[in-house]
Amino acid sequence: MALRPEFHRSIGELDPRQWNALGAGANPFTRHEFLLALERTHCVGRATGWEPLYLTLRDGGGLAAAVAAFVKTHSFGEFVFDFAWARAYEGVGRRYYPKLTVGAPFTPATGPRLLVRADLDREALAARLLEGLEEHAASHGLSGAHALFLDEPARAACLRRGWLLRRDCQFHWSNRGYTSFDDYLATFTAEKRKKARRERRRVAEAGVRFETRFGGELDEGLLERIYALHRDTFVRHGHEPYLTRAFFSEAARVMPESLMVKLAVHGRAVVAAAIFFWCEEALFGRYWGADADYHSLHFEACYHQGIEFCIERRLARFEPGTQGEHKVSRGFEPALTWSAHYIVDPQFRAAIADYLTREAGAVEAYAHEVQAHVPYRGRRTAEVV
Q: Which of 203, 87, 102, 166 is nearest to 353 (CA)?
A: 166
Do 141 and 220 lie in a common domain? no
Beta pairing partners, 71: 51, 100
Beta-carbon-side half-sphere exposure of residue 207 (alpha carbons within 13 Å): 8
**Facing residues of 5 across strands?**
57
Helix (H) / strand (E) element for 338: namely strand 333-343
SS3 assignment, position 262? strand
Element (H, E) at 251: helix 245-254
**Residue 325 belongs to a domain:** no
- The Cα 32–Cα 13 span in angstroms is 11
My answer on whether 149 and 261 are in the same domain is: no
* pTM for the whole structure: 0.95
How do beta strands 333-343 and 164-174 pair? antiparallel
State which residues of the chain have pLDDT below 50. Answer: none
State how far the Cα of 263 lies from the Cα of 219, in Å rounded to an integer. 13
> What pLDDT score does 325 carry?
85
Give me the residues paired with residue 264 across strands. 210, 272
**What value does the CA radius of gyration of the chain take, rounded to a whole number of Å?**
21
Residues 280 and 355 placed together within one structural domain of the fold: no
Q: Can you give the residue range of the structural domain that contains 365?
A: 5-169+335-371
Note whether 187 and 59 are same-domain residues.
no
Residues 90 and 229 in one domain: no
How many whole angstroms separate alpha carbon 251 and alpha carbon 158? Answer: 31
Give, in degrees to the nearest 5, the angle at Cα 310 between 261 and 280.
90
329-346 burial code (b ≥16 CB/10 A, e <16): bbbbbbbbbbbbbbbbee
Tell me the residue type at 172: H
- Based on the domain organization, do 182 and 137 belong to the same domain? no
CATH number reported for the structural domain that contains residue 227 in this entry: 3.40.630.30
111 and 208 in a common domain: no
In a domain, 267, yes or no: yes
Domain co-membership, 17 together with 156: yes
Give dist(CA 333, CA 325) in Å, integer. Answer: 9
Could you report the per-residue pLDDT of 115-156, keeping only the tens digit for each? 999 999 999 999 999 999 999 999 999 999 999 999 999 999
Angle formed by the axes of helices 245-254 and 220-236, nearest 10°: 130
Assess whether 51 and 117 both reside in one domain: yes
- The dihedrals phi and psi of 237, each to the nearest 5 degrees, come to -100, 10
- Is 327 contained in some domain? no
Q: Is 278 helix (H, G, I), strand (E, B) or coil?
A: strand
Rounded distance between C-alpha atoms, residue 177 and residue 213, angstroms: 24
Tally of structural domains, the chain: 2
* Ranges assigned E (strand) in 248-294: 259-266, 269-278, 282-290
In a domain, 306, yes or no: yes
Is 212 a domain residue? yes
Same domain? For 298 and 339 the reply is no
**By the 8 A CB rule, do 134 and 276 touch?**
no
User: What element of type H or E holds 312?
Assistant: helix 305-313
Residue 236 domain-assigned (yes or no): yes
Domain assignment present for residue 144? The answer is yes
Residue 378 forms part of a structural domain: no
**Claim to verify: residue 58 and residue 153 sit in the same structural domain:** yes
> Do 159 and 298 share a structural domain?
no
Residue 121 gets the label, from left (phi > 0), alpha (psi -120 to 50) or beta, of beta
Q: What is the pLDDT of residues 3-59, one digit of tens each?
A: 888 999 999 999 999 999 999 999 999 999 999 999 999 999 999 999 999 999 999
